[in-house]
Amino acid sequence: MAVGVSSGREPREVPRYSPCSSLGRVGDPKGGVMKLPWKVLCGVIGLGAMLAATARETSQPCGAGCGAQTAACLKTARVTRSSCRMDCRANSAPADIGSCSRGCTDTFRSDRTTCRSNQPSCVQACDASSTSAGDPSTAACLGACGEDLGACARNATANLRTCVTGCRTASDVRSCLEGCAAPAQADTAACPADFQSCAGTCATTMPPRPACGAPTGAACGGTCSTPGQVCRGVGRTCTCTTP
C-alpha cells in the first residue's frame, strides 16, 4: 500500500495493483461469469518466475534443465486441475459437483508429487561420476542433454502460457482449457523421455576405463607396482600416480 496525502485531509491509503491483482473476467457459456482461467494464468506466471529464479541459481546446465522440467510439470498439473473442475461444474449433477471437484484435487496432488519426486532422479542422472568416474567428456555430454531438456521444458511452458492467455477471450472456456492441458501433458512427458535417452547415450558411448593392473575396468582402483602410488583417473585412462 502507498500513502497519499492531500491538503487539509487525513492521509489515505492508495492500493497498488500487480498485473494479477485485478482478475480479468471471462464469459461463461452458461451465462455466468468466470475468473478462473485468468487465475490459472497468474499461477502459471508466478510459479514460472519462482522456479526460473531457482534454475538460474543452479550452476550446472543439466541440473537447471531438471528444474525447468519440474516447473513445466507443475504448471501443466495446475491447468489440468482447473480444466477438470470446470468440467465437473458443466457436466455433473448438482449433488455430485463437490465429489467430482475433490477427485480433480486428488489427481492434482498425485501429479504434483510425481513432478517433485522426479526431480532428484533427474539431477542424479546429471552426475557424470556415477557412470564414468567424473570423466569431463561425459560431464559435457550430460550438460548438453540438460540444456536440451531445459529448452524443451521452457518451450512447453511458453506454449501453455500462450494457450491459457487465449482462453480469456474464448467463447467456450472449458473446452479451451482442455485443449491447453492435453498438449502440455504430452510435452511434459516427452521432454524427460528424450533427456533419459540422451543421458543414456552419454553413458554407453564412453569406453570403459582401463583399471591399473588389469586389462579393463569401469573405474579406477587397481593395484600399482610402485609402492606409494595410487591408481587415479586421468582423462579417459587410469594411471598410477604419487599422491
Select the highest-mean-pLDDT range: 199-203, 217-221, 236-240.
199-203
CA distance 87 to 103: 12
Residue 146 and residue 62 in contact, taking contact as beta carbons nearer than 8 Å: yes
CA distance 182 to 206: 38
Q: CA–CA distance from 191 to each of 35, 76, 200 (Å)?
A: 31, 13, 14
Q: In residues, how long is the chain?
A: 243
Q: Which residues contact 53 (CB under 8 A, 6 or more apart)?
A: none
Of the listed ranges 14-23, 37-46, 107-116, 160-169, the least confidently predicted one is 14-23
Share of the chain above pLDDT 90, in %: 45
Residue 167 and residue 37 in contact, taking contact as beta carbons nearer than 8 Å: yes
Residue 142 and residue 128 in contact, taking contact as beta carbons nearer than 8 Å: yes
For residue 24, what pLDDT is reported? 39
Strands 230-234, 237-241: pairing is antiparallel
Largest CA-CA distance found in the chain, in angstroms, rounded: 94
Q: Residue 72 pLDDT more than 50? A: yes
4-17 pLDDT tens trace: 444 444 434 333 33
Beta bridge partners of 26: 34
| Element holding 241 (H helix, E strand) | strand 237-241
Model confidence band, residue 225 (pLDDT cutoffs 50, 70, 90): confident
CA distance 128 to 131: 6
What does the CA dihedral 14, 17, 21, 25 come to, rounded to 10 degrees?
90
For 43-61, the three-class secondary structure string (H helix, E strand, C coil) is HHHHHHHHHHHHHHCCCCH
| Mean pLDDT over each residue of the chain, to the nearest integer | 75
Closest listed residue to residue 87, CA positions, set 107, 71, 110, 73? 107
